[in-house]
Amino acid sequence: MTLRWYSTVIESTDHRVLARWWAEALGWEVMFESDDEAVLVPPWARELGSTLAFDQVPPGLVFVLVEHEKQGKNRLHLDFAPHTSQDRAAELDRLLALGAVRVDVGQGPDVSWDVLADPDGNEFCVLSSRDS
């Protein structure tokens, strides 16, 4: 038996705003929202979800309300990669225009990725472009 990666949970003091930011950044949809949490799924999840086997359904992002601010560097972060047909620099500019900021987590000057943080300070990486 194997487990299905169901979701990644991100804490926030304003979970609705952060969920909407990530929905815009990823082109995902807000599937559910309450006073305590907001859930994002990729747009194809609703369309294809019922046709996929349990272990093939893509994971979602869940944003939960907490009272405390983020402290310190993430011990887990998300990596994203644009397709080789996309303009990686333009994608970085788009994320920065949405409110992401560049951060230094000790990555060094010669890496092939950029480290950014969302409006709550959660670090994520934009990798080099990929074919698959």
Give the tens place of pLDDT for each residue, 69-111.
898 888 899 999 999 999 999 999 999 999 999 999 989 889 9
Confidence of residue 11 (pLDDT cuts 50, 70, 90): very high
Tell me the two tokens of residue 40: 């994002």
**pLDDT at res. 100:** 98
Taking the CA atoms of 67, 68, 73 and 74 in sequence, report the sign of the dihedral they define.
Answer: negative
**pLDDT at res. 74:** 86
Give the tens place of pLDDT for each residue, 49-75.
788 888 888 899 999 999 998 988 888
pTM for the model: 0.90
Considering only residues 20 and 53, tell me which one the structure prediction assigns the higher pLDDT: 20
Residue whose structure tokens are 């929202």: 33
By three-state DSSP, how is residue 70 classified?
coil
Confidence of residue 1 (pLDDT cuts 50, 70, 90): low
